[in-house]
Amino acid sequence: QQQVKQSPQSLIVQKGGISIINCAYENTAFDYFPWYQQFPGKGPALLIAIRPDVSEKKEGRFTISFNKSAKQFSLHIMDSQPGDSATYFCAASRGTYKYIFGTGTRLKVLA
Amino acid sequence: GAVVSQHPSWVICKSGTSVKIECRSLDFQATTMFWYRQFPKQSLMLMATSNEGSKATYEQGVEKDKFLINHASLTLSTLTVTSAHPEDSSFYICSARDRQGGEKLFFGSGTQLSVL
């Protein structure tokens, strides 16, 4: 019940395309869902986050869609660029407790 | 934004020696810091939760005598890998939670440890 399942494991997208990464959770007590971007040899950086009382949040080219009833949330990267090539992790947490991370998605955007 | 500084970024050591990794919150006070281990192309594995002024809470399967964590101040936590062996070689990452920032976690840039 503590797991966060993330898919796909890897993703290749053409420049200008839309990248979509999905996550699913089971614990309905989770109330905070962030997405992190990680480049090789670096720590993860917070991209965007959402709470379950909102169905969508947009920041620039990044959008989180949240489906509370399905216990799923997804990251959409619009107009994907080669510089977006990185590993993306979703996570879930309850209050100030520890994060539960997804398994990661390696995104490659072709020039 | 909040900055977490982790040092060193990489370290090579001989088997049997100890290595200390520092994690500092530069512009905020962190009552809680987390230490992770990450293997190549894998997710972050939480090793322990460190609260300022108290003993760290270790995740199941993590040897507390091998991975010593000290959180002596609101801006500094250290992870010491004692008597390191080649199997301890990994990427170690810390994160910190701003005491006034709610759920957000800010990560350090990681430390690549190679034990020969």
CB contact under 8 A, A103 and B49: no
Interface residue A37 vs chain B (CB under 8 A): no
Q: What is the average pLDDT across A12-34?
A: 96
A70 CA to centre of own chain: 16
Window 89-108 of A, Cβ < 8 Å to B: 89, 93, 95-96, 98-99, 101-104, 106
What is the residue-averaged pLDDT of chain B? 92
**Residue B1 pLDDT > 90, yes or no?**
no
Q: What is the average pLDDT across B16-28?
A: 95
Output B31 or A42, whichever has higher pLDDT: A42
Q: What is the average pLDDT across A62-66?
A: 97
> Given this model, what pLDDT does residue B87 score?
95
Q: What is the CA radius of gyration of chain A?
A: 13
Output B30 or A15, whichever has higher pLDDT: A15
| Confidence bin at A1 (pLDDT 50/70/90) | low
Q: What is the pLDDT of residues A30-43, one digit of tens each?
A: 999 999 999 998 99
User: Would you state the torsion angle of the CA atoms of residues A66, A70, A75, A79, taken in this order, to the nearest 10 degrees?
Assistant: -90
Chain B residues near residue A40 by CB distance under 8 angstroms: none
> Strands B19-25, B76-81: parallel, antiparallel or unpaired by DSSP?
antiparallel
> Given this model, what pLDDT does residue B80 score?
97
State whether residue B1 is helix, strand or coil.
Answer: coil
Q: What is the average pLDDT across B36-51?
A: 91
pLDDT over 90 for what percent of chain B? 72
Query: Chain A interface, mutation test: which of B37, B49, B58, B105, most A Cβ atoms within 10 Å?
Result: B105
Q: Is the dihedral of CA A26, A103, B36, B45 positive or negative?
A: positive
